[in-house]
């Protein structure tokens, strides 16, 4: 093997294979010392593998792997040349995506050149996918798979082509020479691994670190090509770390600072390109900084230099308030405190690894996350919040900064009264978990130790449960412990925010948002610092829960997914009203109403993001699919980014009404003018009403009685404030109101009905209005709302359809024969007029006698019912409080516009209940 590194005469060089071959020194064309390692045979290399393996077991080592080129001490160099530190330094880190191609490396070079900081250190990762390619080389070699050779050729080809695109002249020749040298060394090393069938961790770290070496060298050459003096740093010569586990290392800041001083004394420069990810142990053995190592490298270098800022360049605009793949409304956070970033990263948010924050926190160095592909985006700054933060902003800002989730978890419950007050129980539990090498993500414990639950990775839960059962076998057999139970398919949702600690009601708001989205919580944990609240949920509920709490806390916007059933006259009018008002609601009231589906009896149209209501008729006609209520419900409720769902039934269909119970049970809100559910069989009604309380859903049906008039809400207001209903009496039909308001003078009843039918005030078959069934249903609804348990069949209804005409085959035949029966109503009208009265068709709820009826009645001309005009409705509430003078509600009670308006009002009431500002 031959390994070369451009260094000055006094720099220490480290090679993992140094014991396998003899070293020598040569001068290069710049009189810099270059250390070469001869090619070696497999046997010495295998010996080296064995040596490193023994070192990992703790055997003593009498001398360093490498001797320094000269015998100049670190302390002497530190005295001779102190590296300047402080605000003049900025540190940048560019990840693999940022340097994934030659063009992107050029872009990085431009950013470095344009940075006007006096001094800058740039930490660079390997080119995109290269680290994975290097690990694959080790993997294939250990399996004795000859394809490692072609894989190594692919690595060489990738960097050779990139170098040709970027460099020329001596820079190109120099880099290609080193690249050839390194590839030759790697080939010999991989051959030895191939023969041994095993690679130690040290050799693996050495191999995979080459990607950073090559990208740093190329980037440094690109910067020099732009006329800037620039040196590249192999950070294995500077960063010293102590491995603490297979997945973590601790930086030795004191030793690293000394080595940085030494490095800078020999290679002073205002612009340094440093390798990320790689470092060395105190014994000068190459290692890596493990997961997110390049970010960690940048943070350590920033701390060593006391830089004014560390910028992490990536491919996103910053840190989001939630995962944007799960919450489409997630926004970029302008600032995060160290603690907030720390908490979010622990709970799976794509921020930074928690250890990355530790070095910069010591010196209050801010970290900025920026997008290299969108330089105009300011990014997210992670820093210590100022002490004198504006109090007004504290009040306005949400106390929760962001949300994060972890999936594929399981809950392990350890239950039993035998744990109560027994010292050492927790130690035994955690000892058993430690023995199987599992990671506990969250712990929850009830009062006095009777119940503990642990959250761990689903792949580890079986081993954890078996270990606990084994440890507590005696207690289980004796009954002191009742069970060790596994709850699979769990997820964690964490709410994070530094201001949570000083804001009352955060937990209540969080749990309320989850309850309103019909989400059940399995376990809860909150630390005394109050920086996060963590809940365990069913995995299938996790995304919906995330959207619900994000919408409630962060966006200050109530977003509701809507499904409109029945795009007939009323449904179409409602859709047009939503179209005209949606923008105003969103802009001025923070209510985002999205129609995800529209279905008729035959066709439906669906959308994952929301239907364009300006073209809904065309979409339903041209792109409609066969109507399927279950598929419609599933998409509107389940396959989108919105936690709250409402289905609006604008039909008069009893089959649709029969679905309400299932919808409410599934957490879907229901709004309707359809009277069939509330006036249907009493037992179904009695099951429907309490269900919304159990499932935290809302069932609004104001338009079932008074169209746009507040009849139901007025009645509920009276009852909820302690009033007692004595009697409800009213003209509930706009059609029948119009008929009897117009049935005056010498006009015949059939003439008035014909006029109303031609004007569109009646149903296509006027018998549907004249039968009184519609009024009867409204009376039943009000009676039941008042507490009476009446069936529709209990109501005596006076039909205005002459008995002989009930069997007419068509509406046309009915209208043709109706004039034959004008005399009877004309006689009743005349008798009423002679008595100074008028005829009105009314419905009555008699709460005292617990009955109701629908009939044609006479009223004095000064009575409020006698003073209506057009199709107005009027309802009088006689109560204990309003006994002498009834409470009257009057106004238009029919027509598509007012009925749709009543439904719209219920939608806005739902939005208010779900958190929209009033």
Q: Which residues form the catalytic set?
A: 778
Q: Which residue, 635, 637, 644, 633, is CA-closest to 555?
A: 644
d(CA 582, CA 569): 20
- In the block, tokens 């300011």 appear at 378
Q: How many CB atoms lie within 10 A of CB 291?
A: 12
d(CA 514, CA 816): 60
- In the block, tokens 């049970």 appear at 665
- In the block, tokens 């005829």 appear at 839
Tokens of 271: 């612009």
Q: How many CB atoms lie within 10 A of CB 162?
A: 22
- Give me the sign of the Cα torsion angle 378, 384, 386, 392: positive
Cα–Cα distances in angstroms (integers) from residue 20 to residues 1, 16, 45, 137, 895, in the given order: 9, 9, 6, 21, 94
If 0-12 CB within 10 Å is exposed, 13-18 middle and 19+ buried, where does residue 72 land?
middle
Contact (CB, 8 A) for 468 and 416: no
Which residues lie below 8 Å from residue 828, measured CB to CB, with a gap of 6+? Answer: 839, 856
Cα–Cα distances in angstroms (integers) from residue 894 to residues 117, 728, 730, 738, 775, in the given order: 72, 19, 14, 10, 12
- In the block, tokens 């030795």 appear at 252
Kindly state the helix (H) or strand (E) to which residue 635 belongs, with its residue range.
helix 629-638
Cα–Cα distances in angstroms (integers) from residue 27 to residues 9, 24, 71, in the given order: 9, 10, 18
Residue 419 DSSP class? G
Contact (CB, 8 A) for 275 and 234: yes
d(CA 89, CA 271): 10
d(CA 718, CA 722): 7
Q: Which residue, 677, 673, 674, 683, is CA-closest to 660?
A: 677
Tokens of 832: 């009423």
Cα–Cα distances in angstroms (integers) from residue 910 to residues 111, 352, 426, 687, 706, in the given order: 51, 39, 46, 21, 18
The CA-based angle 873-875-877, given to 5 degrees, is: 170
């Amino acid at each position: 093997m031959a390994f070369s590194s451009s260094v000055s005469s006094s720099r220490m060089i480290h090679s993992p294979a140094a014991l396998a071959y003899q070293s020598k020194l040569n001068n290069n064309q710049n009189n810099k010392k270059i250390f070469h390692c001869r090619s070696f045979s497999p046997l010495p290399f295998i010996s080296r593998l064995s040596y490193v393996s023994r070192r990992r077991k703790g055997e003593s080592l009498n001398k360093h792997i490498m001797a320094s080129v000269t015998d100049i001490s670190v302390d002497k160099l530190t005295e001779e040349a102190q590296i300047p530190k402080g605000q003049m330094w900025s540190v940048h880190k560019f990840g693999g995506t940022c340097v994934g191609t030659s063009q992107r490396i050029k872009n990085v070079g431009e950013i470095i050149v344009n940075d006007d900081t006096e001094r800058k250190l740039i930490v660079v990762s390997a080119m995109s996918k290269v680290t994975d390619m290097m690990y694959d080389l080790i993997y294939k070699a250990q399996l004795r798979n000859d394809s490692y050779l072609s894989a190594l050729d692919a690595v060489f080809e990738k960097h050779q082509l990139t170098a040709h695109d970027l460099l020329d002249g001596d820079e190109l020749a120099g880099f290609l020479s080193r690249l050839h040298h390194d590839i030759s060394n790697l080939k010999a090393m991989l051959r030895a691994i191939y023969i041994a069938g095993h690679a130690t961790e040290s050799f693996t770290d050495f191999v995979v670190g080459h990607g950073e070496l090559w990208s740093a060298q190329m980037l440094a050459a690109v910067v020099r090509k732009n006329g800037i003096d620039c040196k590249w740093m192999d950070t294995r010569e500077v960063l010293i770390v102590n491995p603490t586990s297979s997945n973590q290392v601790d930086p030795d800041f004191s030793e690293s600072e000394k080595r940085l001083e030494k490095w800078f004394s020999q290679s002073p420069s205002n612009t340094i390109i440093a390798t990320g990810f790689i470092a060395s142990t105190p014994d000068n053995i190459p290692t890596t900084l493990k997961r997110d190592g390049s970010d960690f490298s940048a943070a350590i270098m920033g701390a060593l230099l006391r830089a004014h800022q560390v910028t992490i360049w990536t491919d996103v605009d910053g840190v989001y308030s939630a995962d944007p793949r799960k919450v489409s409304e997630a926004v970029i956070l302008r600032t995060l405190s160290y603690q907030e970033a720390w908490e979010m990263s622990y709970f799976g948010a794509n921020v930074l690894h928690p250890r990355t924050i530790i070095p910069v926190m010591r010196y209050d160095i801010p970290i900025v996350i920026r997008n290299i592909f969108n330089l105009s985006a300011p990014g997210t700054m992670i820093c210590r919040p100022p002490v004198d933060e504006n109090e007004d902003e504290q009040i306005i800002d949400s106390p929760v900064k962001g949300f994060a989730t972890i999936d594929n978890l399981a809950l392990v419950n350890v239950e039993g009264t035998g744990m109560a007050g027994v010292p050492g129980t927790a130690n035994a539990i955690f000892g058993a978990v430690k023995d199987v090498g599992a990671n506990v993500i969250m712990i929850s414990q009830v009062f006095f130790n009777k119940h503990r639950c642990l959250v761990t990775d689903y792949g580890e839960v079986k081993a954890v449960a078996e270990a606990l059962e084994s440890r507590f076998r005696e207690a289980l057999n004796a009954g002191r412990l009742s069970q060790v139970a596994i709850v699979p398919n769990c997820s964690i949702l964490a709410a994070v925010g530094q201001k949570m600690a000083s804001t009352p009601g955060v937990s209540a708001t969080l749990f309320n948002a989850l309850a309103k989205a019909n989400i059940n919580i399995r376990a809860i944990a909150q630390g005394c610092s109050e920086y996060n609240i963590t809940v365990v949920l069913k995995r299938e509920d996790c995304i919906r829960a995330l959207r619900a709490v994000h919408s409630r806390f962060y966006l200050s916007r109530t977003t509701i997914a809507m499904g409109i059933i029945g795009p007939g006259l009323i449904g179409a009018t409602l859709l047009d009203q939503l179209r005209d008002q949606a923008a105003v609601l969103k802009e001025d009231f923070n209510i985002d109403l999205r129609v995800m589906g529209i279905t008729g009896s035959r066709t439906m149209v669906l959308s994952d993001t929301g239907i364009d209501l300006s073209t809904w008729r065309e979409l339903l006609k041209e792109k409609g699919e066969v109507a399927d209520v279950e598929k419609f419900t599933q998409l509107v409720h389940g396959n989108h980014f919105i936690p709250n769902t409402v289905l609006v039934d604008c039909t008069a269909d009893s089959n649709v009404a029969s679905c309400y119970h299932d919808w409410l049970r599934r957490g879907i809100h229901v709004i309707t003018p359809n009277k069939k559910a509330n006036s249907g069989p009493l037992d179904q009604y009695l099951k429907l009403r309490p269900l919304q309380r159990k499932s935290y859903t809302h069932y609004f049906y104001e338009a079932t009685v008074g169209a746009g008039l507040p009849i139901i809400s007025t009645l509920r207001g009276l009852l909820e404030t302690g009033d007692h209903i004595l009697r409800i009496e009213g003209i509930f039909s706009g059609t029948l109101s119009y008929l009897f308001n117009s049935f005056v003078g010498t006009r015949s009843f059939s003439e008035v009905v014909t006029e109303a039918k031609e004007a569109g005030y009646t149903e296509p078959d006027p018998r549907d209005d004249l039968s009184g069934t519609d009024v009867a249903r409204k009376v039943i609804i009000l009676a039941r709302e008042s507490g009476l348990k009446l069936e529709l069949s209990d109501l005596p209804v006076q039909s205005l359809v002459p008995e002989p005409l009930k069997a007419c085959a068509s509406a046309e035949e009915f209208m043709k024969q109706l004039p034959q029966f004008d005399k009877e109503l004309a006689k009743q009208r005349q008798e009423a007029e002679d008595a100074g009265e008028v005829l009105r068709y009314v419905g009555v709820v008699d709460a005292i006698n617990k009955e109701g009826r629908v009939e044609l009645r006479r009223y004095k001309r000064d009575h409020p019912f006698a003073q209506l005009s057009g199709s107005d409705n009027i309802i009088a509430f006689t109560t204990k409080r309003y006994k002498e003078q009834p409470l009257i509600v009057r106004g238009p009670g029919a027509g598509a516009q007012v009925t749709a308006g009543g439904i719209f009002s219920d939608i806005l009431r739902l939005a208010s209940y779900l958190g929209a500002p009033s």
